[in-house]
């Protein structure tokens, strides 16, 4: 028995169906690439700072193992700081490129790169009271628990506000004609769910606490979803459904780099 296939003669219906399929594909690929690239760059920033201070390191796909044997206090502070500060700088540069780029199809990847760079920095601020790079620095510098808690609360508020504003920016790139809810789903919800899942699969194996941490940080995308839903503008005509060959290539290169780093790359001064 053959199943009947419904074919609408209305080309507008087919275009809407195509948007529903293609937009999550492109945004998921760009989300994964930006996520993974920022993660790798963050760890290499630690390793390169260690190299500049004469310390050996091994860079893995989700962390940098620094040999602090015989090191004084200041390298133990500078090396952890290098990662989040680089992420912040990288994110700000990508934001400037995003704002300056005139070609609309080329803008979206820069936006995701900027979001992850800045959010990694803010995530480290948020984790000051417990773990993370700033938490390590706070421990070495004997920062009081109260001060660490206040810094962490500030980081949480800043991260939430930042992601809310980025949701309002992302939703502008939804396909023309998208309603408010579908624009939010296309540009925030599906990329966050699928992209985070893809990133975790790509970075396996890694300890369970890292997986839990990555999933926990993804909850900040709820702020982005809120910003997207309540945005004053959505689907402003900039949305482009086609995934560029360079975006596939970038995702493949990043994935290959992640898999190479599973065994670790040693950097010796």
Domain coordinates in residue numbering, the chain? 21-267
In this structure, the chain runs to a length of 269
* Cβ within 8 Å of residue 263, ≥6 positions away: none
Q: What is the model's pLDDT at position 176?
A: 82
The residue ranges of the chain whose pLDDT is under 70 are 1-23, 239-241
Which pLDDT does position 20 carry in this prediction?
Answer: 44
User: Distance between terminal CA atoms of the chain?
Assistant: 69
- The answer to whether the beta carbons of residues 24 and 186 sit under 8 Å apart is yes
Find out whether 37 and 117 touch, Cβ atoms under 8 Å.
Answer: no
Q: Which pLDDT score is estimated for 23?
A: 54
Q: What angle do CA 209, 46, 87 make, to 5 degrees?
A: 80
pLDDT at 235: 84
pLDDT of residue 46: 98
């Amino acid at each position: 028995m053959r199943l009947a296939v419904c074919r609408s003669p209305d080309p507008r219906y087919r275009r809407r169906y195509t948007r529903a399929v293609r937009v999550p594909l492109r945004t998921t690929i760009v989300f994964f690439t930006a996520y993974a690239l920022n993660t790798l760059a963050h760890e290499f920033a630690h390793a390169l700072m260690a190299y500049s201070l004469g310390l050996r390191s091994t860079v893995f796909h989700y962390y940098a193992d620094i040999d602090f044997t015989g090191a004084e206090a200041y390298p133990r502070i500078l090396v952890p700081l290098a990662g989040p500060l680089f992420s912040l700088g990288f994110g700000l540069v990508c934001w400037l490129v995003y704002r300056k780029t005139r070609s609309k199809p080329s803008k979206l990847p820069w936006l995701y790169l900027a979001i992850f760079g800045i959010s990694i920095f803010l995530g480290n601020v948020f984790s000051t009271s417990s773990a993370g790079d700033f938490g390590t620095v706070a421990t070495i510098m004997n920062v009081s628990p109260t001060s660490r808690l206040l810094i962490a609360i500030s980081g949480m508020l800043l991260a939430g506000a930042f992601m809310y504003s980025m949701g309002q920016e992302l939703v502008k790139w939804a396909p023309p004609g998208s309603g408010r809810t579908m624009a939010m789903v296309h540009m925030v919800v599906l990329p966050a769910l699928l992209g985070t899942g893809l990133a975790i699969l790509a970075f396996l194996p890694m300890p369970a606490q890292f997986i839990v941490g990555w999933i926990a940080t993804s909850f900040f995308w709820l702020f982005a979803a809120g910003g997207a839903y309540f945005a004053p503008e959505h689907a402003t005509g900039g949305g482009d459904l086609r995934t560029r060959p360079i975006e596939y290539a970038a995702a493949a290169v990043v994935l290959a780099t992640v898999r190479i780093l599973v065994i670790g790359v040693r950097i010796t001064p």
